[in-house]
């Protein structure tokens, strides 16, 4: 998946995204890095949702549930929820990343 060109924040998602202690800056950092994107079919009843699984600049592993919104010709990520990965999840992510790479087709 092509990374979004920006973020969409509003009163509806600002507070919810910070409920687990992840800052707005950290959420943005996940998208600025090389996240692994996974469809979130379980929560895609109303509109398609995805998970971005990645790390902040400080190295914290984060899950971000989001949807894509088109606005003024841009593809924006609208985060729905975010949380830090548990230790075991982060370890699996690191192992996956070492064996699979970023998944970019060069």
* pLDDT tens per residue across span 82-95: 999 888 888 887 77
Average pLDDT over residues 19-29: 93
Q: Is residue 105 part of a domain?
A: no
Neighbouring C-alpha atoms within 13 Å toward the C-beta of 55: 11
What total number of domains does the chain contain?
1
Q: Is residue 75 part of a domain?
A: yes
Domain that holds residue 22: 6-100
Q: Is residue 1 part of a domain?
A: no
Q: What is the pLDDT of residue 66?
A: 95
- Angle value at C-alpha 14, between 26 and 80, nearest 5 degrees: 80
Q: Is residue 106 part of a domain?
A: no
Q: What is the pLDDT of residue 45?
A: 72
Query: Rounded to whole angstroms, what are the CA distances from 46 to 37, 40, 42, 43, 49?
Result: 19, 12, 11, 8, 9
Q: Is residue 87 part of a domain?
A: yes
Q: Is residue 37 part of a domain?
A: yes
Q: What is the pLDDT of residue 40?
A: 86
Average pLDDT of the residues of the chain: 86
């Amino acid at each position: 998946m092509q990374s979004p060109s920006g973020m969409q924040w509003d009163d509806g998602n600002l507070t919810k995204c910070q409920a687990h202690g992840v800052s707005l800056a950290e959420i943005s950092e996940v998208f600025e890095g090389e996240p692994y994107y996974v469809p979130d079919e379980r929560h895609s009843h109303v509109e398609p949702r995805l998970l971005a699984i990645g790390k902040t600049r400080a190295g914290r592993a984060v899950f971000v549930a989001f949807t894509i919104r088109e606005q003024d010709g841009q593809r924006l990520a609208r985060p729905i929820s975010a949380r830090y990965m548990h230790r075991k999840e982060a370890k699996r992510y690191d192992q996956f990343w070492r064996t699979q790479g970023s998944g970019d087709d060069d």
